Amino acid sequence: MTETNAFNNDEKSKRSRRHSSRRHSSSSTISSGSKSGRRQRAHKRCSISAFIGQLFFNFISKIIRLVFQLIYGVKGETMPAITDPILLESATSLARKIRKQELTSVQVVEAFICRIKEVNPKLNCCVDNRFDDALKDAAEADKLIKSGTHTEEELEKTKPYLGVPISTKDCIAVKGLLHTAGLYARKDVHATEDATAMALMRQAGAIPFALTNISEVCMWWESNNVVHGRTSNAYDSNRIVGGSSGGEGCIQSAAASPFGLGSDIGGSIRMPAFFNGIFGHKPSKLIVSNKGQFPMPFSDEQNSFLGIGPMSRFAEDLKPMLRIIAGEKAKELRLDEPVDLQKVRFFYQESDGGGRLVSPVDADLLAGMQRTVQHLRQKVKPVSVEKVQLEQFRQSTIIWFANMKDDSGYTFAHQLGDLKVSINPYVELVKWIFGASKHTFIGLLTAIMDKTQVQYGSSKYKHMVQKRDELRAEMQELLGEDGVLLYPTHPTVAPYHNEPIFRPINFSYTGIVNVLGFPATAVPLGQLGSEGVPLGLQVIANFNNDRLCLAVAEELERAFGGWARPEVKV
């Protein structure tokens, strides 16, 4: 009886424990499901909110565009026609003719000086010059050629651009010229020596002759500052030229310089090249020395994002320029290896997939992408032409901003203070309202926003660095050693002056490539769009595969015509 009771009691205890366990398990499942459901509902609400926010942004952007059209009218001023055939030659062609004594360097330099004097009152692209010294250098180049001490072949090898004038932006040092970076505090600063890249171009025979406009401290995508003023687009003087190499893009677009150097940390070569209808190449990371720029990067990471690169109306100039400015590292690029485009794998992506507060891609640009894809499939006939959608591109903006952070202690307010003091952007903003500040509105706004962005070392910073690394690995796997990605350089054609203030994040299409470190070339697509300004795209390749980008640029120039002359009413 005792054993039976004990057995029964034990069975009751087990059943009780099992029942309790089932109740606990059921309760845990309900609790877990409840939490999951709440997360899903919260995510859905966020998605709906983001969607509504983007619709509102797109609607407001269209209203703002209409307002600007009413303010500026349909088109800007007319550019003077290009009458001197010298202005229509590539830098490479000019160098060849100078070596062959079909042209003199003095003739060439004089032609471009005359063109600058002709267009600069309308465009304000050139902010300093060494015209007299350049003509003396040109005379010396002609003297060297006529002396016969070097054969034509020797000159081509040792001084491939002998006698050809070159321009660059006002943040890349040219000995004797202004070196302000668009900062009022530096308005009287002159460079005491050439930047490394310019020194290499000078050694190759090029003659520095003009300095071009930029944005304040090179950190905005319209070239305007209180030192030099604003630069206007040669196709439509009511439109921007981009930044920060905007003056450089403009001077070449107007046929006032045969070629030049730009620099790019968020698209500062490629956006101006796109808006001005020329070619511009951002090299692979750490290939071209950044020494001689102001401001310089504060960290090794930032230094890898920044790159000096070639800009020209003609694709054939890019590769020889890159070979020169890369110096000893040129061998890493294998630029002399031939590229068979039929063996290249082409990928294309039409948009970032809906980045927050980023404009939709213009219909003209989508049509340009489709024409390019059609040409590749029908004429080039490569291994493949495949449409892709890299989802991480949607987060390009936050990835760029986070990765730009460093532990130096310097903020954008320090940069506006010439790295000597940290300005108070709030005080300066009040002064700006009354016309008393020596800074641009967007510069002050950037300094204020800089303090609200992701901070170096934070969990969000680490998360975005991881996102960058994941995207980099994904693209490396996609592109391999024989692939290129065609991607919009910008979601819209050149906006009106000041319009970027209302679309500040659109630079993300170029900025993401900088933090990834890949090479990229901005390529004009010949014909102008429905708004009378250039169309284009960028070509991206894997590390040190710059030659693939450049080969595609040359092919698209042959197919669509490249640079278009801005000689009609614009």
pLDDT tens profile 509-523: 999 999 999 999 999
pLDDT in tens, 261-303: 999 999 999 999 999 999 999 999 999 999 999 999 999 999 9
Angle of helix 441-450 versus helix 425-433 axis, rounded to 10: 150
The better pLDDT of the pair 493, 32 is held by: 493
268 is catalytic: yes
β-strand pairing of 345-348 with 384-387: parallel
Query: Alpha-carbon distance 458 to 467, whole Å?
Result: 14
- Across residues 33-37, what is the average pLDDT? 58
Q: Is the pLDDT of residue 4 over 80?
A: no
User: What is the reported pLDDT for 35?
Assistant: 55
Pull the structure tokens for residue 363.
Answer: 């219909």
Phi-psi region of 498 (alpha: psi -120 to 50; beta: other; left: phi over 0): left
Owner of token pair 């294309």: 348
Q: What is the pLDDT of residue 11?
A: 47
Terminal-residue alpha carbon distance, the chain:
109
Q: Which amino acid is at 425?
A: P
Region 338-346 average pLDDT? 98
Measured CA to CA, the distance from residue 527 to residue 554 in angstroms comes to 16
Beta-carbon contacts of residue 296 (< 8 Å; ≥ 6 apart) = 290, 303
Instruction: Give the bridge partners for 260, in sequence order.
Output: 167, 311
Residue 150: both structure tokens together: 């070097």
Identify whether the C-beta of residue 535 lies closer than 8 Å to the C-beta of residue 524.
yes
325-341 tens-digit pLDDT:
999 999 999 999 999 99
> By percentage, how much of the chain surpasses pLDDT 70?
91
pLDDT, tens digit, for every residue of 94-124? 999 999 999 999 999 999 999 999 999 999 9
| Order of strands, sheet of 520-528, starting from the edge strand that comes earlier in the sequence | 126-129, 207-212, 165-169, 259-264, 307-312, 279-282, 520-528, 534-541, 483-487, 345-348, 384-387
Both structure tokens of 79: 């550019």
- How far apart CA 432 and CA 440 sit, in angstroms, is 8
Q: What mean pLDDT comes out for the span 31-57?
A: 69
**Least confident piece of the model among 11-15, 70-74, 354-358, 389-393:** 11-15
- Of 222, 219, 194, the C-alpha closest to 208 is 194
Q: Give the per-residue pLDDT at 78.
A: 77
* Collapsed DSSP state (helix, strand, coil) of residue 90: coil
Residue with tokens 């169309």: 535
Q: Residue 467 burial by CB count (10 A; 0-12/13-18/19+): exposed, middle or buried?
A: middle
Q: Where are the domains of the chain?
A: 72-405+453-560
Sole residue written with tokens 């485009």: 341
At residue 194's C-alpha, the angle toward residues 192 and 197, to 5°, is: 160
Report the alpha-carbon distance of residue 550 to residue 329 in Å, rounded: 17
pLDDT per residue as tens digits for the range 169-182: 999 999 999 999 99
Per-residue pLDDT band for 569 (boundaries 50, 70, 90) equals: very low
* Active site annotation includes 169: yes
The sign one gets for the Cα dihedral 375, 378, 379, 380 is positive
CB 258 within 8 A of CB 165: yes
Cα–Cα distance measured from residue 199 to residue 463, given in angstroms and rounded to the nearest whole number: 40
Angstrom CA distances, 420 to 185, 361, 414, 448, stand at: 10, 41, 7, 18
- Looking at the predicted structure, is the pLDDT value of residue 259 above 50? yes
pLDDT at 33: 54
Q: Is 340 exposed, middle or buried (CB count within 10 Å of its CB: 0-12, 13-18, 19+)?
A: exposed
Band (492; pLDDT cuts 50, 70, 90): very high
Radius of gyration of the chain (CA): 28
The average confidence (pLDDT) of the chain is: 93
| CATH architecture for segment(s) 72-405+453-560 | Alpha-Beta Complex (3.90)
Cβ atoms of 524 and 564 closer than 8 Å: yes
Q: Are strands 259-264 and 165-169 parallel, antiparallel or unpaired?
A: parallel
- pTM, 2 dp: 0.92
pLDDT value at position 41?
61
Q: Dihedral sign, CA of 410, 415, 417, 422?
A: negative
pLDDT digits (tens, 9 = 90+) for 57-98: 999 999 999 999 999 987 888 789 999 999 999 999 999 999
> Among residues 90, 232, 268, 312, which one is catalytic?
268
pLDDT for the residue 22:
46
204 vs 29: CA distance, rounded Å: 73
DSSP secondary structure string for all residues of 391-449: GGGGGHHHHHHHHT--SSS--HHHHHTTTTS---HHHHHHHHHTT--SS-HHHHHHHHH
Please say if 215 is a catalytic residue: no
Pairing assessment for the beta strands 384-387 and 126-129 based on DSSP bridges:
unpaired
Q: 469: closest CA among 268, 482, 355, 461?
A: 461
Beta strands at 307-312 and 279-282: parallel, antiparallel or unpaired? antiparallel
Q: Which of 223, 237, 244, 289 is catalytic?
A: 244
Residue whose token pair is 């092919």? 555
Burial letters 436-461, b for 16+ CB under 10 A, else e: ebbbbbbbbbbbeebeeebebeeeeb
Per-residue exposure over 524-561, b if at least 16 CB sit within 10 Å of its own CB, e if not? bbbebbebbbbbbbbbbbbbbbbbbbbbbbbbbbebbe
Centre a 10 Å sphere on the Cβ of residue 194 and count the other Cβ atoms it contains: 22
Q: Of all helices (H) and strands (E), which one includes residue 526?
A: strand 520-528
How many angstroms separate the CA atoms of 561 and 570, rounded?
A: 20
| pLDDT tier, 27 (very low <50, low <70, confident <90, very high otherwise) | very low
Hey, which residues does 536 pair with through a beta bridge? Answer: 524
Q: Which of 97, 169, 282, 438 is catalytic?
A: 169
Q: Which residues are registered as beta bridge partners of 167?
A: 210, 260
Mean pLDDT value across residues 418-439:
97
Nearest-angstrom CA–CA distance, 41 and 254: 55
- pLDDT beyond 70 at 43: no
* Beta strand segments in 123-199, E: 126-129, 165-169
